[in-house]
């Protein structure tokens, strides 16, 4: 995956048309019918949380943060300009990496196009599905369907599908689709929601894990409630027995880490404390993992990591 696509994806982790709904909200009419998975990050909601305030302060202190890199590359201040981001998987990862990233926000189109053309000498504009697309580095494509919407994709066919959808030539995902039915489980104040209807499409090239390799469908969401960060991961396994076995394994591993925390260093103790916020249960053949942890404690962990990073930098400079 090339740098421009990577930067767009990083904005997600650092999270009748787009303008017809509330800012940052999810827009199913922009999701192709054949989509296999998607992740939606609602920055408009996230920016109202205490967790965002903590992360934003950390970014302001770090000149090498993800925020700084995105600002440098695209002139986008993700804390002020970004409203929402949706990442769509149009096919299995093995077949062309047809991943589409759609950004909502306040963007300077002319600046972005000029910067790309200046940095990428081989950047060219070409017509795909009857519309102009800026292409560079062989497999980077950018398209501006509206003044406050940007679409990134690495393949001609991927961005053509979005263009056809925008022009009414292709069918959007239906409200009754398994993907959208899964996403409907997320409450309105969730700032991250994600669904996968074919987990194997995402995990076949990832390190093998007992939990994900046992799942076929997945759902994830994150929100802030009562000053706590709350996250939920639901996995549909092959059977009720499988879900129960996985629950027992994860519960046992959590207990083992808690025991080691008495004899290990501060990092292990902090990790054990995080695990105390994890609850594992089953609903038939569903494995459900709920994580609930005070935002204030997360802030202390971030500050602790920042101080350790500065200490390492000082020690390297002294050497």
Quick one: 83 and 36 in the same domain? yes
Strand blocks (E) in 45-182: 82-89, 99-105, 124-128, 131-136, 140-146, 149-153
Q: Are 83 and 44 in contact (CB under 8 A)?
A: yes
Q: Quick one: which of 300, 295, 302, 278 has its CA closest to 228?
A: 295
What is the distance between the alpha carbons of residues 307 and 151, in angstroms, rounded to a whole number?
Answer: 37
Same domain, 123 and 45: yes
The three-point CA angle 106-83-133 to 5° equals: 55
Tens digits of per-residue pLDDT, 16-28?
333 333 445 677 8
Same domain, 230 and 274: yes
Task: Classify 162 as helix, strand or coil.
Answer: helix
Q: Output 155 or 249, whichever has higher pLDDT.
A: 249
pLDDT band of 97, cuts 50, 70, 90: low
Strand order in the sheet with 228-237: 124-128, 131-136, 140-146, 149-153, 99-105, 82-89, 37-42, 190-196, 215-225, 228-237, 286-294, 278-283
Q: Write out pLDDT tens, residues 108-131.
A: 888 888 888 888 888 888 888 888
Contact 105, 148 (CB under 8 A): yes
In a shared domain, residues 160 and 16: yes
pLDDT higher than 90, residue 280:
yes
User: pTM value?
Assistant: 0.81
3-state DSSP assignment of residue 31: coil
Gap between the Cα atoms of 104 and 24, Å rounded:
7
- The answer to whether position 100 is within a domain reads yes
Segment 197-225, tens digit of pLDDT = 878 766 665 566 667 777 889 999 999 99
Indicate whether 177 belongs to any domain: no
**Interval 34-41 mean pLDDT:** 89
Q: What are phi and psi of 249, to 5 degrees?
A: -65, -50
Count: domains in the chain: 2
Confidence of residue 80 (pLDDT cuts 50, 70, 90): confident
Cα gap 317→310, rounded to integer Å: 11
Residue 162: closest CA among 87, 92, 110, 96: 87
Average pLDDT rounded to a whole number, residues 289-300: 93
- Give residue 286's domain range: 198-304
The answer to the question of residue 314 being in a domain is: no
In a domain, 186, yes or no: no
Same domain, residue pair 107 and 17:
yes
Q: Is residue 52 part of a domain?
A: yes
Q: What is the pLDDT of residue 161?
A: 84
Same domain? For 92 and 240 the reply is no
Residue with the bigger pLDDT between 98 and 72: it is 98
Is residue 195 a contact partner of residue 219, using CB atoms and an 8 Å limit? Answer: yes
Q: What pLDDT shows up at residue 224?
A: 96
List, for residues 129-177, the tens digit of each pLDDT value: 888 899 987 778 888 888 888 888 888 888 888 888 888 888 898 888 8
Highest-scoring range by mean pLDDT, 83-87, 147-151, 175-179, 285-289: 285-289
Residue 193 has pLDDT above 90, yes or no: yes
From the number of C-beta atoms within 10 Å of its C-beta (0-12, 13-18, 19+), residue 202 rates as: middle
* Model confidence band, residue 294 (pLDDT cutoffs 50, 70, 90): very high
Confidence band for 313, pLDDT divided at 50, 70 and 90: low
Instruction: Classify residue 76: in a domain, yes or no.
Output: yes
Q: What pLDDT score does 25 carry?
A: 62
The verdict on residue 126 lying in a domain is yes
Last residue of a domain, one of 166, 181, 207: 166
pLDDT tens per residue, range 42-58: 988 998 999 988 888 77
CA distance 162 to 142: 11
Q: Quick check: is 278 in a domain?
A: yes
Last residue of a domain, one of 166, 190, 216: 166
pLDDT at 243 over 90: yes
pLDDT (average), residues 58-66 = 64
Residue 213's CB is within 10 A of a number of other CB atoms, namely 12
Q: Are residues 83 and 206 in the same domain?
A: no
Are 202 and 160 in a shared domain?
A: no
Q: Are 7 and 73 in contact, with CB atoms under 8 Å apart?
A: yes
Mean pLDDT of the chain: 80
């Amino acid at each position: 995956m090339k740098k421009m696509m990577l930067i767009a994806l990083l904005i997600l982790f650092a999270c009748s048309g787009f303008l017809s709904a509330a800012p940052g909200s999810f827009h199913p009419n922009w999701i192709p019918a054949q989509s296999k998975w998607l992740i939606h990050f609602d920055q408009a909601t996230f920016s109202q949380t205490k967790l965002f305030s903590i992360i934003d302060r950390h970014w302001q202190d770090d000149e090498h943060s993800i925020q700084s890199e995105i600002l440098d590359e695209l002139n986008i201040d993700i804390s002020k300009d970004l409203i929402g981001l949706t990442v769509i998987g149009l096919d299995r990862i093995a077949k062309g990496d047809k991943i589409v990233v759609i950004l909502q926000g306040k963007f300077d189109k002319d600046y972005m196009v000029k910067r790309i053309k200046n940095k990428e000498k081989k950047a060219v504009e070409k017509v795909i599905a009857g519309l102009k697309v800026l292409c560079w580095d062989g497999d980077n494509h950018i398209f501006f369907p509206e003044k406050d919407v940007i679409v990134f994709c690495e393949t001609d066919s991927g961005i053509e599908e979005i263009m056809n959808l925008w022009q009414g030539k292709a069918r959007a995902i239906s409200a009754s689709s398994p993907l959208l039915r899964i996403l409907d489980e997320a409450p309105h104040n969730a700032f991250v929601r994600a669904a996968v209807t074919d987990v194997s499409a995402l995990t076949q090239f990832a390190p093998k894990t007992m939990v994900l390799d046992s799942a076929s469908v997945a759902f994830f969401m994150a929100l802030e409630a009562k000053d706590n960060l709350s996250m939920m991961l639901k996995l549909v396994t092959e059977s009720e027995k499988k879900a129960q076995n996985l629950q027992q394994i994860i519960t046992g591993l959590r207990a083992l880490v808690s025991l080691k925390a008495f004899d290990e260093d501060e990092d292990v103790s902090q990790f054990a404390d995080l695990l105390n916020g994890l609850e594992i249960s089953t609903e038939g053949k569903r494995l459900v993992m709920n994580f609930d942890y005070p935002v204030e404690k997360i802030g202390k962990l971030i500050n602790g990591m920042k101080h350790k990073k500065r200490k390492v930098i000082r020690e390297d400079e002294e050497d």
